[in-house]
Amino acid sequence: MEREILLTGIGGQSVQLAALVLARAAVHQGREVMLLGTYGGTMRGGNTDSTLVVADAPIVSPPIVSRAWSALAMHHAFWEPLRRKLRPGAIVALNATLFEGDVDRQAHRVFDVPATAIATELGSPLSASLVLASAYAALTGLLTIESLIAGMHESVPSYRTQHLAANERALRAGFECVPGNVAPAFPDEGMAA
């Protein structure tokens, strides 16, 4: 079984880091993973998207998907192209602090997570993408908090180690701010703890 995860936001929101953390956490849990990050020509303020495919068997095609099981949206600015790729009943985790776009709450299972507000309360607004990614992991039961933390430690470059503690707090806060396993990614398995 494969699960497609689309991530979107604006440059500077650490969308690519969040995708990499999810990917490495999934590898820690023995999953097969493919990741493709794309972003516009500007570092801050432009579009930034990632496509992540997580599976329980080898993945045979690259992570370029026309239909997706789920999405995480840090901001509404570049939401529309990803929205069109969502399957009916898709899981959608929104950064409720900033997201102002339209989401069909009848067609999709939408979870509002105040990711930027939580990260700001923790003193690290730049870790909002990790709050949202961790909340998504908890909602879907896809990943454990331990694998997320391990994935984050592997993803943060050596010149940014001063952010490790704040990032770990963000991951824990995101994981704890939502109910666990309410939208199971792999329904035949037990909840990620």
pLDDT tens digits along 133-143: 999 999 999 99
The answer to whether the CB of 96 falls within 8 A of the CB of 115 is yes
The pLDDT tens digits for 178-187 are 999 999 999 8
Pick the CATH number of 2-176 from 3.40.50.980, 3.40.640.10, 3.40.920.10, 3.40.440.10: 3.40.920.10
The answer to whether the CB of 10 falls within 8 A of the CB of 48 is yes
Query: Average pLDDT of 86-107?
Result: 96
Query: Average pLDDT of 94-117?
Result: 96
Query: Average pLDDT of 127-150?
Result: 98
Report the candidate in 54, 49, 41, 53 with the shortest Cα–Cα distance to residue 13: 49
